Amino acid sequence: MSSETGDILSILTDLFDPNVLQKIPKSDCLAFKILPVFWVSDGSLAVITPHSTAELKDLSKIVGFNLLKIKTCSSEDFPSLIDEFFSKLHPEIPCSLIANVSDSAELAGSDDSTEVRALKELLHFQIKNKASDLIFSSMPSGVGVSLKLGAKKLIKSNQLLSLSAFNRMLNVLKNWSGLDFSSCSPVQEGSFKFQFENKLYNFRVTIIRTLFGFSATLRCLNVLHSLKLSDLTLFESQISLLLELSENKSCIKFICGPMGSGKTTLMAAILRELAQNSFVISIEDPPELQSENIMQIPVKKDLSMQDAFKTALRLNPDHIALGELRDFESLNPAIQASSTGHSIFTTIHCYDVKSFVSRVESFGLNLNNITHNIGFLCFPRLTDMLCPKCKIILTKQEVSGWNSTGCFHCNYTGYSAKLLTFELYTVDESNNFQLVGLSFKKQWSVLIKKGKVSTHPSTTDPTWL
């Protein structure tokens, strides 16, 4: 990309109005050599073009409205400008290498093999577009490739992988993630690191057997997992309270919530804060928390969660973080350890206090017998923050809500980042859970007034309140 093209794209980032493409589609942009930017108040269309003023005047008669040049672009650079512009506006998953992955004579998984180069190309595209997930979905006709850009945008490749080609790529992922090639398990999870533009990215791999074969998801963890608590939430009083409670020993702290609510993100942020002055160990399957200050123990075939936990206790850490608790065998040792002076953090799938009680009791434990071991229940919720460049106020008289139109800054999703809110519950003298700190309703009312979010989450997700 030339410096001139880069300068023009910078202009477009701040000024472009996507509604102009309703009048001038991409085909007309190429044919007329004009790139529309925004409508002027007098009805003229501001454009970037290599045409002279006289040529533009004649062209205005053809298109039916006045064209106003705000920036000149050379004829040689115009095609590349259009390509760069529309690739940003409507990202398309690169298919040049996907189409070539086949049962060739190449050594499978070698650094220069087609499947490795195709995977790297897809990962580059995922990182550039700040996509959270790269998804491979097995279907009757082949394996589809798609990218998740935020909560409301999914782009799909127009090229399907053959099953044999995907199996070759799957073997590469297993190799990168240290997974067992010979395993027939319906689910395999792992992680790997990937370097792009001198920065190291962490990916979590989940492979699952589906109706038409294996499917896989690659989640990029760097977007949130390297952030501090102060980067995730706007409520300093909540952070102070959470960290104060996290320092307590002889208790187990539960980070609770449904899938995608931010449990791992929040626990990672807490542990990074504690690890600055404490000895912290994390035990996970697979490891997701990436930190130089935390001793990480991966659970493997020859090392169960229970054995790893027993070993960790002998190392005398200040805090121990466990992966998700799913049964009595994983929860009971954590409860016992918290009774002997240890500080334990863990995550559990549940929506609220009531469902937490039901979940624990489904493990075969009487909650009344363990409430004295519980330091706190924390229920995080991640939400998309409105893009500050394209958000619009919904009510002018009294601020009751906001929305966003989508722009260059946010890849036309309307959202620029993630925000974290959370509720904290402790156990009172009567062995009941009581809310401490700010409620979701209070936090969301503040976020709406500040124009950070569009609507209250209760309108779309009743499990939030």
Taking the C-alpha atoms of residue 268 and residue 274, their distance in angstroms, rounded to an integer, is 10
Comparing CA positions, the residue from 403, 394, 379 lying closest to residue 452 is 403
- pLDDT exceeds cutoff 80 at 16: no
Query: How does pLDDT run across 70-105, given as a tens digit for each residue?
Result: 888 888 888 877 777 776 666 677 766 666 665 444
When pLDDT is averaged across residues 19-48 and rounded to a whole number, the result is 78
- pLDDT exceeds cutoff 90 at 299: no
* pLDDT value for 107: 45
Lowest mean pLDDT among 52-56, 291-295, 340-344: 291-295
* pLDDT value for 345: 94
Comparing CA positions, the residue from 343, 349, 342 lying closest to residue 325 is 349
* pLDDT value for 240: 94
- Give the confidence band of 223 by pLDDT, cuts at 50, 70, 90: low
Backbone angles phi, psi at 222, to 5 degrees: -65, -30
The overall average pLDDT reported for the chain is 81
Taking the C-alpha atoms of residue 316 and residue 356, their distance in angstroms, rounded to an integer, is 29
pTM for the whole thing? 0.70
- Given a contact cutoff of 8 angstroms between Cβ atoms, the answer to whether 339 and 249 are in contact is no
When pLDDT is averaged across residues 160-179 and rounded to a whole number, the result is 88
Taking the C-alpha atoms of residue 159 and residue 370, their distance in angstroms, rounded to an integer, is 54
- Give the confidence band of 205 by pLDDT, cuts at 50, 70, 90: very high
- pLDDT exceeds cutoff 70 at 230: yes
CA dist list (Å): 245 to 170, 250, 358: 43, 12, 24
Instruction: Give the number of other Cβ atoms within 10 Å of residue 16's Cβ.
Output: 22
When pLDDT is averaged across residues 274-285 and rounded to a whole number, the result is 89
* pLDDT value for 462: 38
Lowest mean pLDDT among 30-39, 62-71, 403-412: 403-412
- Give the confidence band of 328 by pLDDT, cuts at 50, 70, 90: confident
Taking the C-alpha atoms of residue 221 and residue 210, their distance in angstroms, rounded to an integer, is 24
Determine the distance from the C-alpha atom of residue 135 to the mean position of all C-alpha atoms in its chain, rounded to a whole number. 13
Q: Which residues of 335-370 are buried (b: 16+ CB within 10 A; e: fewer)?
A: bebbeeebbbbbbbbbbbbeebeebbeeeeeeeeeb
CA dist list (Å): 314 to 8, 84, 272, 291, 307: 61, 56, 22, 22, 11
* pLDDT value for 32: 85
Taking the C-alpha atoms of residue 368 and residue 430, their distance in angstroms, rounded to an integer, is 10
Query: How does pLDDT run across 112-125, given as a tens digit for each residue?
Result: 678 888 899 889 88
DSSP β-bridge partners for residue 287: none
- Give the confidence band of 262 by pLDDT, cuts at 50, 70, 90: confident
Residues 6+ apart with CB under 8 A from 20: 36, 37, 38, 39, 45
- pLDDT exceeds cutoff 70 at 210: yes
- pLDDT exceeds cutoff 80 at 321: yes
Percent of the chain past pLDDT 90, that is, above it, reads 22
Lowest mean pLDDT among 61-75, 129-143, 232-246, 419-433: 61-75
When pLDDT is averaged across residues 52-75 and rounded to a whole number, the result is 85
Residue type, 22: Q
Lowest mean pLDDT among 22-31, 344-353, 421-430: 22-31
Residues 6+ apart with CB under 8 A from 65: 23, 43, 44, 45
Domains along the chain? 3-89 (3.30.300), 98-220 (3.30.450.90), 224-464 (3.40.50.300)
Lowest mean pLDDT among 134-138, 287-291, 362-366, 417-421: 287-291
What size, in residues, is the chain? 465
Taking the C-alpha atoms of residue 310 and residue 49, their distance in angstroms, rounded to an integer, is 69
When pLDDT is averaged across residues 316-321 and rounded to a whole number, the result is 92
* pLDDT value for 163: 86
When pLDDT is averaged across residues 222-233 and rounded to a whole number, the result is 72
- pLDDT exceeds cutoff 50 at 399: no
More confident residue, 136 or 30: 136
* pLDDT value for 278: 92
* pLDDT value for 28: 81
* pLDDT value for 102: 53
Which residue has tokens 């027939």? 184
- pLDDT exceeds cutoff 70 at 397: no
